[in-house]
Structure 1
Amino acid sequence: MGETEKAVSEWEGRAAVELTSSTADQVWPFLADFCKLHNLMHPYIDTCRQIDGFPGQPGLIRYCALTGSSSTSGGSESSIMWAHEKLLMIDAIQRCFSYEVLENNLGFKKYVATIAVSEINGGTGCEIVWSFVANPVEGWTLDQLVSYIDACLKTIAKSIEEALQVEDQPTK
């Protein structure tokens, strides 16, 4: 297979977001719980739960789903978009994890992602980077997939910042 053919058969992408008032140590626990994605990605994910393996350990498999309204049925019939995702690696010291999409009805044949949190601004802020390698997905362009991941990542960052602000509020 030539280099040109490989470029067409595999996509690589990356999205990043900076949190200027949250440290990497504050942000990491929100991302480290592989089965709490729905708490960070509403409205993108309705359900995220463990279906196999052990919490925090490579091999854990989660089920993620989004219930959407079907436009062909006038909105009365709902469709569920879902995926089984396997935790491949998690490193609390480096504050990163990798996972792959297994069975799904989203069109992914191969999708492996890494999410990492690193310090910026001398440790007073952090950056979350979501990178991936995937086979092309029918009905999508690479730019559309990167744009979707970017939107998801911004939602995650906003959810984390809001949760941290609540934690910082004095109790009455």
Structure 2
Amino acid sequence: MNLNRRRFGCALCGAALFALAGCGRQEAAGASGPAEIAQGTACELDGMLLADYPGPKGQILFADAREPAFFCDTVELVSTLLRPEQVRPVKGAWVQDMGRADWAQPRGHWIDAKAAFYVRGSKKHGSMGPTLGTFAQRADADRFAVEHGGKVHAFAEITPEMVDLTGGALHDSRM
């Protein structure tokens, strides 16, 4: 009888350890995916509150970080990814699928930034003015470009010059 209790106790401990190990893997997997925007989520570059502005947002999870860096505008996100001085390893980068999200108040619908289709040069603005509309499906990006103007690009076609963040200040004669 004493031997059966030991076996039962060992089996119970083993099951508990197995369950805990599974929980750890599940949490780690969840921590490596996109996070949702909260009311107080601020932009990594300028501190603007993402929930206060229209247009697609972005986020990057750097390998050395626990939480993603959020961007209030997709131009800022893509510029950060393409800058030659950006040497921090990236675990993942996401933008919002504007084929499914509301442009005025985008929430959720995160897609892989490098697999997205980008519309550059449309009449639709984001938090920083002209922005890149982001879409999971090429057909949605094409429809958006027909309706609002612009040209569709895959991520690999975007150059650093297309997402230069210095343009506004350089061309503003009031500054």
Superposition TM-score tier, normalisation by shorter sequence: under 0.3
- TM-score where L is the length of structure 1: 0.24
CA radius of gyration, larger in: 2
Which structure is higher in helix share?
2
Which structure is higher in strand share?
1
Higher relative contact order (CA 8 A, sep 6+): 1
